[in-house]
Amino acid sequence: MISTKKLITYITFFVLIQSGLHAQVNNIAPNIIPAVHQWQAGNGSFIISAATLFKFKPSVSTQKTVAIFLEDMAALRGKERQSGLQAKGGKNDIIIKIKPQPHLTQLQKESYHLEIKPDKIIIKAMDEAGVFYATRTLLQLIEKSADKQSIPCYIISDIPAYPFRGFMLDVGRKFFPVSQLKDYICRMSWYKMNQLQLHLNDQAFHGQHYAAFRIQSETYPQLTSTDGFYTQQEIRELIQYAADRSINIIPEIDAPAHAMSILDIAPELKNEKLQDGQLDVLNPKTTVIMEKIYDEFVPLFPSPYFHIGTDEYRFKKATTTEDRKAFAAGFCNYINHFNRYIGAKGKNVMIWSGYNEMPGFTPIDSNIMIDMWLGNNAKEEIKAGHQVVQSTDGWLYIVPGTNYYGVDNKFLYEKWAPNDFGPNQQLNPGEPDLLGAKLHVWNDLGPMGFTYHETADEVAVALPVMAEKLWGNKMSPTFDEFIKRVDGLKNVPQVNDTRLLDVSKNSDPIINVDFKEHSLPDAVNKHLIKSLTGYESKSVLALDGHDFVRLNLPADELEQPWTLSFRVKKTDARDTTTVLFESPYGTIFLNLKDKKSGKTGLGIARTVGYKEYAGEGEDFYRQVFNSIVPVNKWTQITLTGGHNNCTLYIDGKETESVEKQFVCPLKTIGSSCGHLSALAFLTNIKVFGRILNRDEIMALYLNAKLLVD
């Protein structure tokens, strides 16, 4: 592999000299993420307008790139897309020149040279990928301009440091619709990431029997998940959508562990000596069934890589040394068999690391790519002839909703390097068998985990961090400085994965209902508004255990950050579980019983389809606070929800805070799905799209106390 430094020198010498480099006008670096490698500022700006034409040699792929550029630019500018697909033009043109060469490396294919002058822009590249990345640079320059049409003059030469710049999304445990996958593809392309790995089958952890296989199978129709799957045509279209944006989709069908969905249709592949969800590698039927599965899905993906998983194969229930060695040998033979079987179909096979921890180790084929989630033997893997990808779990795993793993973006940006796998495992810079690195989202909690928007929020900063470190030019001295650059480019075109109830961070509440001056959104249930005895000028919402009120908002819940505040008078002394606020993904309870201690208190929980999770690990999904709302007394309840934090205030004072993340449920006040609504009066309901400070929360209490007490 040619080093990045040598390639930059080559491009700079031969391309910049040909273009005629003028004296530098200023020292303002272009704010591009990932930062460009070589730049020179020029005089003035190029004004892109309806008169701007593209000039390029007729090519379907170039025409697609131009079309995507125009669509994305229109999205940034909020205007109709201009045509710009002419083959001829005069002044104010964008000229694309592709000079293909034989035997290009991936890095060379993705390199580009960009000349921005007041009267024209010239894009030079050796492959369509380089042209596409040049358009990403132009779009980011447009996004930073005040008028969304002035592009400052620069001469830029750019090339990535690593050919593999990846992101993995676990859709096996939690289904993401195609629209969400396209959002991730657009985010990746904005930051010049190029490998999207889809983890297509798995089972949820923490005691749930939930397993899914996400692609429609014609060979084994019963294998297809019933609660969300992709048709094969949808996969083909998604692959093309990604390819048009210079992204390769890597499929992962994980076996012989993480294979409960396969065992559900072939229980004969179980073995009592193995953990749940694991195929018996010593059973010949396992090979037969897996060959049929791979026969169906390997041809579906044009990717040069095919990931077969193979992580965490455990046989702790095998008590004899002979059994353990037999399973270990069978496991490594399984890896080698499918490496050759899938390799014969033209693929480079990837597996997760960890296979070498087996007793009586059997060597695996040296042409297998190792996805290093356990990085303690990276040097040894390379010495054995393997190419590796940096995927170290402690640094690069996001597991939404749990209290383990998590990405430290500040550490990644300021200290981490792709060639650092941990103590005594630092590879030499420029190691040719280190292909790159990969960020991961694992949905261990299954459907009960974070919403799509919460997950996207977890990725929003980590992805550009990874992109800049893998492109190889860390421009900002600190993470804080980098975040300022990210904030200036966070408006990614064609992406709609932000929370639906998005609001500016101001003092105005999203909801402000006192049932007197402010109207109730649900006109049907206005009969629930009652006048208070002795306070005839004031009204409250009276819930009697069965009634509910729809809030009729654009979304059913609000993801963090949020504040919910309301005044409540409980009218029933029983500790029966009752609902105050509800949505498909969350519930706030006036009474909720802790299943371990038996205590009852104010509670909040994550739900799926209004259903609470019951089983091992339920603490991830629910919180019963120590506070009990008194009977026949007005009480001010305020809850705030932040990143991995939820705090309860009673009468303006903080009483409890937990390291858990919840949504604010806003579909109904009371329960609309058969649960018991609270028996209580409510008024002064306010919801904010931010976390109020302590003084603001106390002010809410004091103001509400003046109105109703």
pLDDT digits (tens, 9 = 90+) for 211-268: 999 999 999 999 999 999 999 999 999 999 999 999 999 999 999 999 999 999 999 9
Position 89 scores a pLDDT of 47
DSSP string, 243-307: HTTT-EEEEEEEESSS-HHHHHH-GGG--TTS-TT---TTSHHHHHHHHHHHHHHTTT---SEEE
Largest CA distance in the chain: 88
Residue 520 DSSP label: -
Tokens standing for residue 54: 């593209």
Set 312, 431, 612, 656: catalytic member: 312
State phi, psi for 119 to the nearest 5 degrees: -110, -5
Residue 616 has a CB neighbour count (10 Å cut-off) of 11
Tokens standing for residue 386: 């393997």
* Closest residue by Cα to residue 520 from 500, 556, 548, 562: 548
Tokens standing for residue 324: 């353990």
Position 610 scores a pLDDT of 63
Three-state secondary structure call for residue 707? helix
Position 512 scores a pLDDT of 86
* Closest residue by Cα to residue 435 from 374, 380, 372, 384: 372
Gap between the Cα atoms of 255 and 261, Å rounded = 10
pLDDT exceeds 50 at position 380: yes
Residue 420 DSSP label: B
In this prediction, residues 350-372 reach a mean pLDDT of: 92
Position 28 scores a pLDDT of 86
* Per-residue confidence band for 11, with pLDDT thresholds at 50, 70 and 90: very low
Which residue type is seen at 286? Answer: T
> Tokens 């606020």 sit at which residue?
581
* Per-residue confidence band for 34, with pLDDT thresholds at 50, 70 and 90: very high
Gap between the Cα atoms of 468 and 461, Å rounded = 11
668-678, pLDDT tens digit by residue?
999 988 889 99
Identify the bridge partners of residue 40 per DSSP, sorted by sequence position.
155
Structural domains of the chain ordered from first start: 4-158 (3.30.379.10), 164-487 (3.20.20.80), 511-707 (2.60.120.200)
pLDDT exceeds 80 at position 428: yes
Q: Over pLDDT 70: what percentage of the chain?
A: 88
Position 25 scores a pLDDT of 47
Identify the bridge partners of residue 115 per DSSP, sorted by sequence position.
122, 155
**Burial class of residue 267 in the structure, from the number of CB atoms within 10 Å of its CB (0-12 exposed, 13-18 middle, 19+ buried):** exposed
Identify the bridge partners of residue 122 per DSSP, sorted by sequence position.
95, 115
CA angle 228, 192, 121 (to 5 degrees): 130
Gap between the Cα atoms of 44 and 142, Å rounded = 14
* Closest residue by Cα to residue 642 from 562, 573, 522, 566: 562
Ranked by mean pLDDT, which of 59-73, 198-212, 488-502 comes out on top? 59-73
Tokens standing for residue 536: 């005839």
312 is annotated as an active-site residue: yes
| Residue 551 neighbours by CB under 8 Å, 6+ apart | 511, 521, 522, 666, 667, 668, 669
Higher pLDDT, 531 or 25: 531
Gap between the Cα atoms of 49 and 64, Å rounded = 20
Contact 645, 604 (CB under 8 A): no
pLDDT exceeds 50 at position 9: no
In this prediction, residues 673-696 reach a mean pLDDT of: 92
Tokens standing for residue 213: 């296989």
